[in-house]
Structure 1
Amino acid sequence: MPGTEVPRGTPRGLPTELPSTRPRPEGRPRTTPSRPPGVGPIVDCAVYVDGHRQPPVEPHEALPAAAARGGFVWLGLYAPTEEELGTIAAHYGLHPLAVEDAVYAHQRPKLERYGDVLFMVLTTATYVEHDRLTATSEVVDTGEVMVFVGPNYVITVRHGEHGALADLRQGLEEQTDLMCLGPAAVLYAVADHVVDAFVDVAAAVEEDVEELEASVFSPERTDDIGRLYQLKRELLSLRRAVSPLEVPLQKLAERQIDPVPEAMRSYFRDVEDHAIRVREQVSGLDELLSSILQASLARATQADNQDMRKISAYAGIIAVPTAIAGIYGMNFEFMPELTWRYGYFTVLLIIVTTCSLLYRGFKRNGWL
């Protein structure tokens, strides 16, 4: 069944204040939504019973309807402000610390438990297409998805221009067997979606690494150090997104955590395996980039040495006529060969012969 979007804006009938025992951190202003003008925080809201999407309901009526019918509600949010998420948090009983993390974002991937509610942070990534990698190219763009999982609800909060979950929701709605497992199925699907995106990004970055490797070892003389360093920095962003995700996925795969049923462990174990493979791939690319960077530096040093050899060789050759001309340019009256009829031509012959021998010697030794 295709997804039905609910009216944009704050859910009607929900409290407008967020009960919090923790003051706003100093220096953190009230956030403004990073979304297009006129677009509200709610992307979609639906109730699912026995794996099937139910007829549309108002957001403030979704949770009671889901609890009464033994289902769950999936509320999707996009870049909510503190006030907007505070309204929803009060209605669903979300912990203030988790709400603060979801509003301000910029968190490391993690899994936390607040009573019977799980809060998971995932860093999303996408590959930025470019015609040619430069020293200032943006290669990896990151965002965040936060997931609140309760007994009868799952709330996804997305930050960033990519990582939309509309297609994911539509695909899940066709897998009724999976949706019957409850809110944890949505958490699994989101985590799997994020890790699959990592796989695609890592594959695309690998192509950039191969292009740089070919450029560094090409016969032509190129300056790739700036591009290598930029790609290494971008790869670090991907590494920061992937590596910390293993611990939360391991907990979900190996521990009994409410509200994650036993049947979901194997699903999270599969996602964990994919995350480990991506982490190993990213680590391998990082090590390869380090080796390529060292090779590029060594090649640049070798090229500089060759240039210095050439300069030194030509300087040595030029030193011969310079020295001879300097001696005979002192203008002393009594000097050998000054009055000799063939002295000038003899000196020129000596200069040419000596320079030729020097050139031949430098050429033979690879200096020229």
Structure 2
Amino acid sequence: MSMAGNLRKVTGLSKVGGLRKVARLARRRPRVDLSHPARSPLGSSVVNCVTYREGVRVPETGELVDVVQRVRKRGGGGFVWLGLHEPTDHEFAGIAELFDLHPLAVEDAIEAHQRPKLERYDETLFAVFKTVCYVEHEKLTATSEVVNTGEIMVFVGQDFVITVRHGRHGSLGPLREGLEADPEQLAKGPAAVLHAIADHVVDDYLSVTDSVQEDIDEVETDVFAENGARVDPGRIYQLKRELLELKRAVVPLSRPLEELATRPIRVVEPEIQAYFRDVSDHLLRSKEQISAFDELLNSILQAHLAQVTVAQNEDMRKITAWAAIIAIPTMVCGVYGMNFKYMPELRWTFGYPLVIGVISVACVLLHRGFRRNGWL
């Protein structure tokens, strides 16, 4: 396809109108060297902007619209990868205009807090991934944060990839380096970048589920220990809450990956779809682990509640047994405290020792009976 056709395909403008648009944007914004990682023509939200041709990184200088214009003029396998972190409306406005991004997708990318999804707008694919990371802690408590979530939004076109990241984690720097070390895979175009991001996100799911399993094993061990009834149930509830947060990130991603793996999409070649099927398999494993963890936590919680009930019953038996033992001297003392003139053995010299002896023998026999039956 010619440069003008490619430009019209991406921006939705005519040949003359598209070139005038790029030129107008170039005049509007200052020229800044994109190769410098700390500088950006759009503000601090731009993390990096790199051009690739046949899987190899191509050094580019100048303003963003100039870079995009050169890539489209060359055509044939080149694309721009623009990475942003929590951009504002003002910072993203120029990018949305340059790449002709749909307003609804732009709104989702800026606002964040989206469910994992996949949407198609003409020639552009918009994907949302929920990223997760495990929060390290010395000991799990009822208020410990276990799972922290973020988001990665990806715009994919014929000659561009735009990644918008939200959250304190999920950096794509190592992923970019890994792709650049494999030019053959990167040469497959923007869809290869989309696959690498999906694979990276799902691998993090597996890593987090493995770490969560260690916390669940720790709680399970404490619950079934000798003093398991004294375990704080808030730790179990906290794990269930954090597991629910992980579930919200993992489960909705199944359908988008299924679409990427099976349905024909113009910007995703059939060769890349096979890779998405592998990612979908990994996601299925993570979903199965989360479901198993949820059931296991329910079982642990029920076992803990049963232990608490058993412990309470044991305490009640002990209290009842001691109350029965104390009732004997209380009854005898109550009888002899009624100030009657004619009481049994009241004026006998050995009456008091006899009563004390009877009380003691009765209490000892009752105590032995309770111990024999496991009440004491």
CA displacement 1:64-105 (0-9 Å, x = unmatched)? 222222211000000101111122111110000000001010
Structure 1 contact 123–144 (Cα < 8 Å) conserved: yes
Equivalences for residues 26-37 of structure 1 within 5 A: none
Residue 4 of structure 1 and its aligned partner are, at CA, apart by 4.8
1:250 aligns with 2:269: no
- Which residue number in structure 2 is paired with residue 15 of structure 1? none
1:270 aligns with 2:270: no
- Which residue number in structure 2 is paired with residue 193 of structure 1? 200
- Which residue number in structure 1 is paired with residue 163 of structure 2? 156
Alpha-carbon distance in structure 2 between the residues aligned to 1:215 and 1:6: 49
Alpha-carbon distance in structure 1 between the residues aligned to 2:289 and 2:165: 26
Residue type at the aligned position of 1:307: D
Alpha-carbon distance in structure 2 between the residues aligned to 1:262 and 1:105: 30
CA displacement 1:165-186 (0-9 Å, x = unmatched)? 0110011011111111110111
1:367 aligns with 2:375: yes
Alpha-carbon distance in structure 1 between the residues aligned to 2:357 and 2:140: 55
- 2:134 equivalent among 127, 133, 137: 127
Gaps of 5+ in 1: 12-38
- Which residue number in structure 2 is paired with residue 54 of structure 1? 58
- Which residue number in structure 1 is paired with residue 124 of structure 2? 117
Alpha-carbon distance in structure 2 between the residues aligned to 1:200 and 1:307: 43
How has the CA–CA distance of structure 1 residues 211 and 5 changed in structure 2, closer, same or farther, with 3 Å as cutoff? farther
CA displacement 1:96-153 (0-9 Å, x = unmatched)? 0000001010000000111111100000000000000000000000000000001110
- Which residue number in structure 2 is paired with residue 336 of structure 1? 344
Structure 1 contact 109–244 (Cα < 8 Å) conserved: yes
Structure 2 contact 79–160 (Cα < 8 Å) conserved: yes
Alpha-carbon distance in structure 2 between the residues aligned to 1:322 and 1:65: 101
Structure 1 contact 124–143 (Cα < 8 Å) conserved: yes
CA displacement 1:203-225 (0-9 Å, x = unmatched)? 00000000000000011343231
How has the CA–CA distance of structure 1 residues 354 and 95 changed in structure 2, closer, same or farther, with 3 Å as cutoff? same
Give RMSD over aligned pairs.
Answer: 1.3
CA displacement 1:6-30 (0-9 Å, x = unmatched)? 453444xxxxxxxxxxxxxxxxxxx
The answer to which structure has the higher helix fraction is 2
Alpha-carbon distance in structure 1 between the residues aligned to 2:265 and 2:48: 27
Structure 1 contact 8–41 (Cα < 8 Å) conserved: no
Aligned residues: 339
Query: Which segment is superposed worse, 300-309 or 124-133?
Result: 300-309
Residue 334 of structure 1 and its aligned partner are, at CA, apart by 1.5
Alpha-carbon distance in structure 1 between the residues aligned to 2:234 and 2:223: 12
Structure 1 contact 47–65 (Cα < 8 Å) conserved: no
- Which residue number in structure 2 is paired with residue 68 of structure 1? 73
- Which residue number in structure 2 is paired with residue 168 of structure 1? 175
- Helix, strand or coil: the match of 1:112? strand
Residue 361 of structure 1 and its aligned partner are, at CA, apart by 1.1
Alpha-carbon distance in structure 2 between the residues aligned to 1:299 and 1:49: 65
TM-score by length of 2: 0.88
Alpha-carbon distance in structure 1 between the residues aligned to 2:371 and 2:81: 77
Equivalences for residues 1-368 of structure 1 within 5 A: 4-11=35-42, 40-57=44-61, 58-69=63-74, 70=76, 71-221=78-228, 222-368=230-376
How has the CA–CA distance of structure 1 residues 61 and 6 changed in structure 2, closer, same or farther, with 3 Å as cutoff? farther
TM-score by length of 1: 0.90
Alpha-carbon distance in structure 2 between the residues aligned to 1:172 and 1:350: 91
CA displacement 1:2-53 (0-9 Å, x = unmatched)? x954453444xxxxxxxxxxxxxxxxxxxxxxxxxxx701101011111111
